[in-house]
Structure 1
Amino acid sequence: LTVFLLWQCIASVSGQARYSVPEEQAEGSFVGNIARDLGLDVQRLVSGNARIVTKGSRQYVDLNRDKGILVVKERIDREELCKKTTPCSFSFEVILENPIQLYRVIVEVTDEMHLKIVETAAPGTRYALQRADDSDVGLNYIQKYSLKPSDHFKLEMQSQPDGSQFVEMVLITPLDREKDEEHALVLVASDGGAPPRTGTARIHITVLDANDNAPVCSKQVYKAEVQENSPVGTVVTAVSATDADKGVNGEVTFSFAHVDQEAKNLFDVDKKTGQIKITGSLDYERSKSYQLNVLASDHGGYSDTCKVIIQVTDVNDNSPIIQLMSFSSTISEDALPGTTVAVINVHDEDSERNGLVECSINNDLPFKIESSLSGYFSIVTDDVLDRESVSEYNITITVTDKGSPPLSNRKTINVKVSDVNDNPPKFDESEYSRTVPENNSPGFSVFTVRARDADWGQNARISYFLEEKQINGASLNSLVSVNSESGVISAGKSFDYEQIKLFEFNVTARDAGSPPLSSVVPVKILVQDQNDNGPQVLYPVQTGGSLVAEMVPRSADVGYLVTKVVAVDVDSGQNAWLSYKLQKAADRALFEVGLQNGEIRTIRQVTDKDAVKQRLAVIVEDNGQPSRSATVIVNVVVADSFPEVMSEFTDFTHDKEYNDNLTFYLVLALAVVSFLFITCVVVIISVKIYRWRQSRVLYHSNLPVIPYYPPRYSDTLGTATLPHVYNYDTCRTTDSRKSDIKYMQPMSQSLVSVDDVGTESAQNGQQRSTASTLRPRGGRDGKERQHANHPNSRWTLKGQILAHIFFFFYFKKLHNEPLTVIL
């Protein structure tokens, strides 16, 4: 029956657990987690009213149902419990109800030696251990000892004089109480029997503290808030610090360090507890926060410092606060929609609903506000920007809390739109046309071209340039220049209307952007004529070396055309309108001059009282302001035959004024003409020599005399001034101001005599003829030839001949007027 009941009892045991615990453990020491080891839920232990059932009267272990763990209930003495029995253990059962479950727990009590070692003990320190007992002798007696673990200690056997041995534990590495306050070692003794038996003993080492650690504050920064109406004695916060040392070495005291006098008058710290209390009246408007430095010190002189930041809060009267966390005061006009302009943080120092805020901006702007994180808002672009339309924006941020009544706050930020070079310069006019008077001074400011750029800064900084261009063979830069900054166009030289009347060019305006943009405008400059040129008389020619006279027959009718004064003015417009008038008009004037055409005509019949020699001073005047004029002397001879004219030559000649400048120009012209003449002669001779060499025929050739054929002129009435052709043999002295002229027999206009040196070539069929040389009358051929060979006479004769030919063709082509007598 007893065996059956025992079997039933064992069969009802659902499981078991085994633990070991050192002896002399303090009450409440942890033994094991029975809920985990038995696979039970803590709630099952509570609902099943789990409890411990022991066989003896003493219960060494207690069950904590709420945590499911086993703890030491009372101190366990291994020698008292088991005497010398090894191993030493005790057991008990854990029973649960509803349903009933039974678990067995076996607890082994291990032997233990207690040692106390200061953490500053030096390596090599020895500690004697209790020797193990063995009733056997010889080989069955204890043979060796071992220690586990052996991180800090090692074993050494020492012999005594009686031959017995004992065991010493030697420290090999320093101990650190702050790292390991206790060490648990197992000493194993083994005998030499077969099979060998062992005995174990636990060594419990307690490391004693030394003051080798400084206090450490629990936080480096403490933050606390207190309302401004908090009474004196209110605890704001408490600072704490820990010291890894123990006992007196670990006691920490608190005090203020480096705190201003105002904070000392308002707060105090408890030396032992670290509590910070209010000792004065707080004022939120005077100071919103305080920073206290608290010093934590131990008795060994070690210390640590922590900061306490106390925020003083207002009493339900705080408006929301707007903080700009990130802000770009300038944004490019080409920024894409969605570009962030500013990030703001909004907070309300009130709490609960009074601290909830809503944020918005004005709706008429190309921006919008987005919520990113709690309390953070981003202002981003919502449309394309154009700096030329709007260069800056004022964004008003409105924040309103949800209190009652609600409080709000506003903040305005200014965002400037930075420029992008997207606009080329534009001129004020599509084309510039300006007038500048001639004879201007070099550097004269003609006008200013101006271009405007809708951009800003460097992008709107405009420079002006002229194009590279040639005008009438001259570089444009020599005519005008442009100021690269102001656009002022200045004359590079004095303009002459008679040389250039207008010129056109382009001006380029280029900004300083990157890349630069430019535009071009055409410019036209008109040179305005000034009356800077007086009239120039082309006919009659006034020279100091020849005599010009107009012959009027005594039978001339009223309106008879005597001659025509021809003058030109190189100016233009009304400055070139010429009018003619006589300088002095007698009471019975025989002649008048046409106001517009310069024709000198008779205004009455010629009478015997009229002087044969008439000297008319014709004034040619232009229409400029002020007007310029020129005077020409016209000599008129009233006679029916040429001999009458010759009798008056001497008087005319002596009355003429000699013009030194005109003589100089005449000599210069004669030199040029002579050079050209000699060049032509050399060329002709070269050609003839070349032809002679080609044909092997020798031709003798002399230079011909330049032919001169006095033309036949008729006036408008059909009456010829000189009805026949006359040849003149002229002999000039070295004084060019005086001349002698001989009258020759009239000849037919077709009469031509061949020079004795001229020949007619039968080979080329060309006819060569030269005008008959002027032969003297009265047998003075030798004298005349001598005069003709004189150098001064030769050059003067050539000049007269060329001048006569020029005026002949000029007047015949332009005016078809009667030919004057050229003397």
Structure 2
Amino acid sequence: MLDRTMGGQGLVFLSLCFLSSTLGHISYSVPEELPKGFVVGNIAKDLGLDIKRLKSGRARIFTHESGEYLQLNSERGVLVIKERIDREALCGQRALCTLQLQIILENPMEIHSVTVEIQDVNDNPPFFEKKEVDFKISESALSGSKFILDRAVDYDVGINGLQTYRLEPRDNFVIKLHDQADGSKNVEMVLQKPLDREKSEHLSLVLTALDGGEPQMSGTMQILITVLDANDNAPVFTHPVYKASIKENAPLGTVVVTVTATDADQGSNGKITYSVSGIPDNARGLFEINSENGEILSIRASDEGSLVDSCKVIIDVADVNDNMPTINVLSKINAITEDAKPGVVVTMINIRDVDSAENGNVQCFINDNIPFELKLTNNDFYSLLTDGNLDRERDSQYNITVTCSDEGVPSLSSSVTLSLHISDVNDNAPVFDRSSYEAYIVENNSPGLSIFTVKATDSDWSQNARVSYILEDSSVNGVPVSSYVSVSADSGVIHAVRSFDYEQIKDFQFCVKAQDGGSPPLSSNVTVKILVQDQNDNGPQVLYPVQTGGSLVAEMVPRSADVGYLVTKVVAVDVDSGQNAWLSYKLQKAADRALFEVGLQNGEIRTIRQVTDKDAVKQRLAVIVEDNGQPSRSATVIVNVVVADSFPEVMSEFTDFTHDKEYNDNLTFYLVLALAVVSFLFITCVVVIISVKIYRWRQSRVLYHSNLPVIPYYPPRYSDTLGTATLPHVYNYDTCRTTDSRKSDCKFGRAGSQNVLIMDPSSTGTMQRIQSEKKPWRATHAFDISSLFFLLVRIATHCYSCIF
């Protein structure tokens, strides 16, 4: 098999020279055979680099050569000899021998080209492959006859290489050199003086090859000549030059070309044999010639009479695409931050294909749909760059496959996969799993109770994704929210700081901030609303009838009352809410022939049958007001009822209702005082009303004469807005007084005509019946004098009752 590696090295050299024109480049020249540790040059100084930069950039050498002849001393910033350099082993017969290497630095990535020329020293003498050659020359050979000699070999080049030949003795022959098209020289021994076999049948000559080095070196070969009888015709090749081509992967034994020579002599002098001479070093051992019909390069034909002729055979070795591209990763980074801008160099690679022409043309590409691009920076050098925005949360790692294919048929390719990790930056704020939260807590809770948990996630990594929860400063009814709730910084659990009372606060809201651990930190807020749920912790409260230790109030029911007659109404409220505030009313221990019943929902006490003579005049009803909570709470109110058609009829029974039998002798005085106070208030109110009316009349006249528009004002109507459904109507309060000045009582007025019985045992038997107003007073109606007077009387009476 043939191999074109030597030609491939020439291509590599040309590529590196082109690279030096675009990147940082320096050149050195040193002789071969220098000892280890010899300083070639100061890399740091010549490239203008600081020694600290060499260390931080992890400077290293990259070269295509199989052996490492040079090394970089980062501590001193110098390039030194690592192994002894033999120029002949490294470059052979090339006139220019260089070592091409690159200095690779990272963070940021840099590449500098260095060329080291290896100068030849005269350390190889010329030598001949054969120490002795034999010639059989007829004595009839004519002057000028040529005899081809094997060339000497000198591994040195230039002035140190082979320069000349010397033949001794020179009685019959001289040496002549003939330049060839490939730059080599054929050595010919030319007959100057005819031979005389009878005088000398055997001749011994010494051919010396000399180089031009200092000191000069040489090599010798002995030439033995046997003088034969005349053979006057030499073989003649049919062509002076033969050309042929062969593929480099041709199998052994393939016939390259057939050369043909003829000899006009007969017999043994006309029998032709073929041999090869002057094979170049890179072809030595690759070809052989068939002595009957052979080949290759310089071919010598001789007959048995020792007459010779020569021709040249040129064999072109045709390249076959038998080498895959070689990918060398010069430098790479294993991780890059996700905020890296487009154009950042990730990796630098070198591509080499030792084939030639199309078989050596290489194209490289990477896999699709990744934010990277492969850019050709030079003939054989590629840079892998970022080509878009990176997002670790989308792709935390990229496996980038670089594939290089040549243009041969069939195409050969190779690939390498680079793993690149994307480092996280804090570019994502925590996100709550809900836009807002709503939680419930039952009142009367214990402090420290866990109410609810807020949860936020951060798509970043590690510390950037560590979420802490913070309660934002705010206030609830003027009180800091931190006195109501607290938030666990790690878990987001919201705890109650205090015990809540639904009757004081029904709901409140606050903000919780989720903050990550990045630098600077990112955060987001969410609103949390806490709804306090009611418990049945309040019992019903009776508003009417009022249960006090003062004067006694009784409801009077005539004996002629029809079934369903409304006696009174028990009014109660419950400050709880919902079903905890739904009230129901019932009588306690109702008799078998009960005369009254109470409305389960409205608390109205009505008669359920006609009054009979057997019914007691005095009725004492115990009404239980109960809410609908679990467990339920209740309150009891006592309602006194008198069954009679007139006041004298019940006088004898009335005394049983009193709580105190003492009489006040000064009652008349207090009554007179109360009337005086009422009269004074009445006169004062009349004066104020008249003054207000006169003032309004004057104002209206002024507005009338000023032609200004008059905008009437209507006071708003008032309504119950408590929303507890336990006070659906507006009630008027009536003040009732008794003969006992230390006791008083009040009741709610009703919309219809209701009888209120006011009893005074100490009086002379007179009883008063106060008929309630048929129409309730409204803020939108104008006052009249009688209404005002009546109101003042009631106020004064109430004041009197309260005083005593």
TM range (shorter): 0.3 to 0.5
Q: What TM-score comes out, normalization by structure 2 length?
A: 0.42
Q: Which has the higher contact order (CA 8 A, sep 6+)?
A: 2
Q: What TM-score comes out, normalization by structure 1 length?
A: 0.41
